[in-house]
Structure 1
């Protein structure tokens, strides 16, 4: 049967927008024409921002946007704009800042009422139906009766939105030092949960950016307490329900303190970063738990999020249809005890001990979320079985559960492909290959990189933001360029195919021409070619993903090692200088910047290997966790400065250089490692 209502969103490709295409609300996508329409009709903008895996977005849609009474109010008095925050982070940045200024907090769905030119004056997250009708009526009447009050407030809001994002040029000669860093990390550590990992609070988010920095910090400065905290967190997360023991991959966050009950949505950007992090942790520690976590997470991404063209989809929804036919969060993932008994039979008791089918693992209403908290050694002793036998039994049980689960109603897939998230996943595959050295990870990384070149590149050399059904309709943002440059540099370091490094350099030059703010030395989030509302954002704070500017600073640092003649170092040094005043004020929100501080303030090496066995020698070196080096290699000849004129017939030589000054070449990887790990 044909749907009763269809609005302009039916023309979009975003699954989130398409979910709203048959609402009775006259939704439109964000566009200049929509703003012009509001101005021509003298109507306010009602802007609602969310994303496909957002639980409360679905709740508000059902309660409000599918309701004809609500739609009548919205359609009569507003131009209604729906935005997928994952497609349009540029707009989301502006209105999230506005909401936080108005209310002190933020979240999604993010609902904003604004003047026809986009300046906001009211905002909220989830609102119930009757409250929504009432508040929209009040706002409309206020605008009609006293427009000068609304205009005055909106003007002040716009001024505040601009001011909080101003980053002046810092002429102070003092630099942020390792001594200050030690003090700031010590202060930050007061918030660490050293028993359960993460922070002393719920909900708990993985925060791979922070853990990546702390792993580097603890390793480089030999800080045992920080390393202990990092490994406690990584183990608890891998043991917890936030990790899908049956199908692999991590959920967005846990609602409790012990990483047990997740908010069940699975995001590509989380899993890409966590694959990278666990790969590094495996190299640093040799812990088999980390290797297994990487392998299972990559298997999940390949099975659930890989497109036929080798691009990666965005996410799986938290909600799915339960056995009663209702949409329920986590329905696909949870288990009842009797169901497990019937499926696992004689292995149930062992499985229940391993994954806590007891009070510790109980969630609610007789449902269990699998969680480990006991070391395997205790179970081996209690059940008097070998380690191999235990692993085989658990693997057999998980296989049975996966087969059973596959027959359930599946979570909805957000099948749009986002450039920046593909960059994060590509970097995860690069690091997985570097440290686990499984050829299929390299194969998949190269396939994805070729997909990016073929489908996400603009004719002028820039990038698109999105891809679906062979189409792109949004130009790339800084985070798209930053993550792809980072991934391509990393891909060169393991494949030694110079096309990836060359492309990274080309994309950097494009950003310098189209995104750079000469005053601050930082990069705008949007290109100078693109339109913007209220301001062009300078994104500097790291969050669940690194800020686009911190990644760009890291990229410039690495590219300066490969192409010293380009003077990239002057740019990243200025970037660091202009944000360093915030490092001590809010350390946890600048972790990726601080990772760069470790590079710049501690010894950092350029490692060049030339000769017939260069790949073998570099891969042997890269098995170790060496965050303080970049790698270049070739068999005979290359025009790259690091490799040029270094071939010596019959030998494979390892050159270890620091800021272009090289030590005497070595031929043995063990000796090279001794120098690099000092």
Structure 2
């Protein structure tokens, strides 16, 4: 990568020495009301693109025809990437893209394209990579100037109006004077981006071992925040895929330090301001290192993954707080983020009328009026004191005192305090309902809804609430009817949507969810859907290596082999996990070998940077340590499986059948009069038993150490 560091230095010297690039935080925006102008985005269905449909800038949606137009007119292209709940995207819109002077400059000298990064994560991934090569960081809005062939020559984030005008003038002038020099640089930078995404396929296979796995965890542990949880840093994100993997590792290795880190993180998160203590649900990230003040944006993928993680952690700890937060989060999602047909929206804005967090924060005087004689108690519990004020006299509810200490200090019983908290929540909820709500992005994204299905299923396993399973089935049915209609999968669906794009994550995540539904319902139709999605996805995105492309190749955008986790788990890692689980179910040695080789290609990355490879870590854990098959066959299979699912069990597949089946794990094992549990490991099975207790004893006889809490 040394060459690309020098390339970034060249571009900074040649083109943007006088420009100041500011990488701003993500947040949200609001739709436009001024209809004096209308551009081509009026024909789109993305809420983000529609927000810009009445800008004086002659925006176009991404298409080959737009680049053909740029080539014919010999113009550079302005590419602006954001999303509907991005605060600084909207600030730049108000300052620059609604300004007629700026618009005239863009319309005269450039062809301008707007992209919703949630609709086109492939495009965002490519240009964010280029931005990071040049500037060492990324973010949204992402504003680029690119050649008519799609290669970037300038990349940045948010710019104030005068800065943006200077950039536009500088690059349009340079293109007119030195098109050859600009084309040469663009080719070099495009090559750098391609190398980044070619690299995973070029890595040597390196089989995982327990020592290598421990090495990866040890390296990651050097950046753990031992006091506040999460990773050290001025801002904090909840990395659910990492914490899920680490919790499994901690239980399997009986590593108390790793387990304590996960539990401490979750405890700090559920009590901090990053959790909405009134409506329920988690905000996107914390702007400080103590989880106190969030960026007030709620994303479906964050909440879906946290439902999964907290449900899983509950099975280990029986912490009632985890169960409560799952219940409240799922209630929030159902009330605020679900459409009438059963699909879940992608995001809820941080802003209301351009003001961040106003829907969520509280004035001290308002709380005193609402809570009356309970205000003093409330203020002690949620830090409503002068030293904790956020800005403009506003407070974020943030609990840092333990419940036991609080009860003792104020001589309260747990029952009495819980009742008070419910009353507080109800009072504030009713007051908040009178406020204007933030806007929502109503796209139904396949991959993000699939994550929610997984979360609902894990909640069903942990708590035994049939409502969670019913809702998981409902979401899956919605995706089948809208996002997978006629056997054609799409990434994003809105009413009248014509989007055709679909990505590896959509196939991988939905296949995983279908398999998870099969595990709890025993309905083989879900298994068939999972296998079908894996077959299509494997063919559609196959590469010259054992890994898969994220997108389908086009002349403008290179094919991407992406392996690290982002805000959602690595699609390649989930593909490998699916291969492993289906492989064990059907004794499909080709699938098992596929998963093994894919994991081996990432082992070195995990060792050196486990923090970015949590989803792979879950796979590698199952390959480095013994993996078990728990098979329940007979009329009473569902009941026994529910009993098993209540326990925290690592490195296993738990499947069952109430009928005769030719699937390898069930073949010749059905008995009409009895229900048996078979425990198998490495092609060796113990004698069938009739109780969960006896099955667990057999696993212990195998040397299994991956149990958490047991009822």
Q: TM-score, normalised on structure 2?
A: 0.92
C-alpha deviations, 1:561-594, integer Å up to 9, x for none?
A: 1222362112112212222222223221112112
1:480 equivalent to 2:506? Answer yes
Match of 1:164 among 193, 196, 210: 196
Residue aligned with 1:166, SS: helix
Match of 1:521 among 546, 554, 559: 546
Q: Could you tell me whether the CA contact under 8 Å between 1:6 and 1:24 is conserved in 2?
A: yes
CA distance in 2, matches of 1:418, 1:256: 30
Residue aligned with 1:593, SS: helix
Match of 2:453 among 426, 444, 460: 426
How much is the aligned-residue C-alpha RMSD, in angstroms? Answer: 1.5
Q: Could you tell me whether the CA contact under 8 Å between 2:206 and 2:604 is conserved in 1?
A: no
1:628 equivalent to 2:655? Answer no
Q: Could you tell me whether the CA contact under 8 Å between 1:44 and 1:79 is conserved in 2?
A: yes
Q: CA deviation at 1:475?
A: 2.5
CA distance in 1, matches of 2:428, 2:223: 37
Kindly tell me: are residues 356 and 674 of structure 1, through their superposed partners in 2, closer, same or farther at Cα, counting changes over 3 Å?
farther
CA distance in 2, matches of 1:673, 1:387: 35
CA distance in 1, matches of 2:255, 2:605: 23
Kindly tell me: are residues 637 and 359 of structure 1, through their superposed partners in 2, closer, same or farther at Cα, counting changes over 3 Å?
farther
Q: Could you tell me whether the CA contact under 8 Å between 2:461 and 2:642 is conserved in 1?
A: yes
Residue aligned with 2:251, SS: helix
Q: Could you tell me whether the CA contact under 8 Å between 1:143 and 1:150 is conserved in 2?
A: yes
Residue aligned with 1:400, SS: helix
Q: 1:51 matched to which residue of 2?
A: 83
Q: Could you tell me whether the CA contact under 8 Å between 2:49 and 2:116 is conserved in 1?
A: yes
Q: 1:667 matched to which residue of 2?
A: 690
Residue aligned with 1:568, SS: helix
Q: CA deviation at 1:31?
A: 0.7
Q: 1:93 matched to which residue of 2?
A: 125
Residue aligned with 2:281, SS: coil
Match of 1:408 among 426, 435, 440: 435
Residue aligned with 1:111, SS: strand
1:371 equivalent to 2:398? Answer yes
Matches within 5 A, 1:286-435: 286-321=318-353, 327-359=354-386, 361-435=388-462
Q: 2:35 matched to which residue of 1?
A: 3
Matches within 5 A, 1:535-554: 535-554=558-577
Match of 2:621 among 593, 598, 601: 598
Q: 2:100 matched to which residue of 1?
A: 68
Q: Quick check: 648-657 or 578-587, which moved more?
A: 578-587
Q: 1:567 matched to which residue of 2?
A: 590
Q: Could you tell me whether the CA contact under 8 Å between 1:167 and 1:578 is conserved in 2?
A: no
Match of 2:667 among 637, 644, 649: 644
Q: Quick check: 650-659 or 125-134, which moved more?
A: 650-659
* Displaced runs of 4 or more, over 6 A: none
Q: Could you tell me whether the CA contact under 8 Å between 2:200 and 2:563 is conserved in 1?
A: no
CA distance in 2, matches of 1:296, 1:405: 16
Q: Could you tell me whether the CA contact under 8 Å between 1:655 and 1:664 is conserved in 2?
A: yes
Q: Could you tell me whether the CA contact under 8 Å between 2:206 and 2:601 is conserved in 1?
A: no
C-alpha deviations, 1:174-198, integer Å up to 9, x for none?
A: 5231112212211211110111111
C-alpha deviations, 1:464-523, integer Å up to 9, x for none?
A: 111111534132100111111111111111111111111000000001211111x32111
Q: TM-score, normalised on structure 1?
A: 0.96
Residue aligned with 1:596, SS: helix
Q: Could you tell me whether the CA contact under 8 Å between 2:47 and 2:84 is conserved in 1?
A: yes
Residue aligned with 1:585, SS: helix
Q: Could you tell me whether the CA contact under 8 Å between 1:462 and 1:507 is conserved in 2?
A: no
Q: Could you tell me whether the CA contact under 8 Å between 2:123 and 2:557 is conserved in 1?
A: no
CA distance in 2, matches of 1:606, 1:97: 40
Match of 2:492 among 449, 463, 466: 466
1:653 equivalent to 2:680? Answer no
Q: Could you tell me whether the CA contact under 8 Å between 1:520 and 1:575 is conserved in 2?
A: no
Q: Could you tell me whether the CA contact under 8 Å between 1:158 and 1:534 is conserved in 2?
A: no
Q: 1:324 matched to which residue of 2?
A: none
Q: 2:65 matched to which residue of 1?
A: 33
Q: 1:243 matched to which residue of 2?
A: 275
Could you list the runs of 5+ residues in structure 1 that have no partner in the other structure?
Answer: 322-326
CA distance in 1, matches of 2:205, 2:167: 52
CA distance in 1, matches of 2:171, 2:305: 42
Residue aligned with 1:584, SS: helix
CA distance in 2, matches of 1:532, 1:217: 43
Match of 2:314 among 271, 282, 285: 282
CA distance in 2, matches of 1:198, 1:475: 35
C-alpha deviations, 1:349-404, integer Å up to 9, x for none?
A: 22112211124642122111001111112222222221111001110111110011
Could you list the runs of 5+ residues in structure 2 that have no partner in the other structure?
Answer: 1-32, 706-711
C-alpha deviations, 1:621-661, integer Å up to 9, x for none?
A: 00011131112212232232212221223211001122443
CA distance in 2, matches of 1:165, 1:172: 15
CA distance in 1, matches of 2:279, 2:299: 14
Match of 2:210 among 152, 170, 178: 178
Q: 2:50 matched to which residue of 1?
A: 18
Q: 2:632 matched to which residue of 1?
A: 609
CA distance in 1, matches of 2:333, 2:388: 26
CA distance in 1, matches of 2:155, 2:410: 58
Kindly tell me: are residues 462 and 510 of structure 1, through their superposed partners in 2, closer, same or farther at Cα, counting changes over 3 Å?
farther
Q: Quick check: 405-414 or 342-351, which moved more?
A: 342-351
Q: Could you tell me whether the CA contact under 8 Å between 2:368 and 2:375 is conserved in 1?
A: yes
Kindly tell me: are residues 2 and 101 of structure 1, through their superposed partners in 2, closer, same or farther at Cα, counting changes over 3 Å?
closer
Kindly tell me: are residues 658 and 451 of structure 1, through their superposed partners in 2, closer, same or farther at Cα, counting changes over 3 Å?
same
Q: Could you tell me whether the CA contact under 8 Å between 2:631 and 2:679 is conserved in 1?
A: yes
CA distance in 2, matches of 1:440, 1:174: 44
Q: Could you tell me whether the CA contact under 8 Å between 1:417 and 1:468 is conserved in 2?
A: yes
CA distance in 1, matches of 2:221, 2:566: 17
CA distance in 1, matches of 2:79, 2:442: 23
Q: 2:299 matched to which residue of 1?
A: 267
CA distance in 1, matches of 2:255, 2:556: 45
CA distance in 1, matches of 2:510, 2:444: 14
CA distance in 2, matches of 1:20, 1:143: 27
Q: 1:231 matched to which residue of 2?
A: 263
Q: CA deviation at 1:133?
A: 0.6
CA distance in 1, matches of 2:395, 2:34: 40
Q: Could you tell me whether the CA contact under 8 Å between 1:170 and 1:577 is conserved in 2?
A: no
Query: Does 1 or 2 have the higher relative contact order (CA < 8 Å, sep 6+)?
Result: 2
CA distance in 2, matches of 1:650, 1:618: 18
